Amino acid sequence: MKILVVEDEKKVAAFIKKGLEQERYAVDVANDGEEGEQLALSQPYDLLILDILMPKKDGLTMLKELRAKNVSSPVLMITAKGAVEDKVKGLDTGADDYLVKPFAFAELLARVRSLLRRRGSDRSTQLTSGDLTLDLVSHQAKRGDRIIDLTTKEYMLLEYFMRNKNKVLSRMTISEHIWHYNFDTGTNIIDVFVNHLRTKIDGRAGKKLIHTVRGVGYILKEN
């Protein structure tokens, strides 16, 4: 699942990003409201985490404009403003939950899971490709009855493949989505991770799901 964090304090943003990525979420970060709004409008996110006091555009204004443009992603507001009236204003603007700084990461993570479960009531929280399943809440992968143990990057890579099954994904596209940097033609890191993942997914299975498209990239074929 993909989360957008909009927070102007770079240390706080980095702390949240690192913690969420360790929990196998894909995370984008923006450091002001204008950049955050552009990202939120450019692609669908499963959850938005917004600070209120930010440069260029504050979190409440950003949220109000996103809701007016029919962005329905759940929103967790984080702020140092903990008065009741501040919470009410945030919730009335369209936020789904409110967390006051300073906070324990465990509480942030619990609220993230709660919001994603609520969103999951409106759509499936499980991806499937043949006999391969991936639970987006528990982060458990299974091939038939076999549980597959994945590293954080392998999980993110598998989720990306399964969300784009039957589509050819270039090495550059994979790199930008998983590692958030442009692909360096001098490294084989993408091939190494895909091969590790393919061994775990296809190694003991009769039908292979992940295939190489020579000179282009990879594809997860369902049929």
Contacts of 92 (CB under 8 A, 6+ apart): none
pLDDT value for 156: 85
Q: What confidence score (pLDDT) does residue 2 get?
A: 85
The predicted-structure confidence for 92-110, as pLDDT tens digits, reads as follows 778 888 888 888 898 998 8
Q: What is the CATH number of domain 126-220?
A: 1.10.10.10
Answer whether 139's CB lies under 8 Å from 155's CB: yes
**Given this model, what pLDDT does residue 29 score?**
93
For residue 77 the two structure tokens come to 């507001």
Q: What is the DSSP letter of 107?
A: H
Mean pLDDT by 10 residues, the chain (223 residues): 90 90 87 91 90 87 88 86 72 83 88 79 71 84 90 87 88 77 65 90 82 90 78
* Phi, psi angles (nearest 5°) of residue 7: -150, 125
Residues 4-25 as b or e (16 or more Cβ within 10 Å = b): bbbbbeeeebeebbebbbebbb
Name the pTM for this structure.
0.61
Start and end residues for every CATH 1.10.10.10 domain found in the chain = 126-220
Sequence ranges of the chain with CATH classification 3.40.50.2300: 2-120
Which CATH architecture group holds 2-120? Answer: 3-Layer(aba) Sandwich (3.40)
Rounded to the nearest 5°, which phi and psi values hold at 31?
Answer: -105, 10
Q: What is the pLDDT of residue 218?
A: 92
Q: Can you tell me whether residue 84 is helix, strand or coil?
A: helix
Q: Which amino acid is residue 35, in one-letter code?
A: E
Long-range contacts of 160-167 (CB under 8 A, 24+ apart): 160/26, 161/210, 161/218, 161/220, 162/127, 162/128, 162/129, 162/132, 162/134, 162/220, 163/127, 164/220, 165/129, 165/220, 165/221, 165/222, 166/219, 166/220, 166/221, 166/222, 166/223, 167/219
Q: Please tell me what DSSP assigns to residue 139.
A: -
pLDDT score, position 182: 52
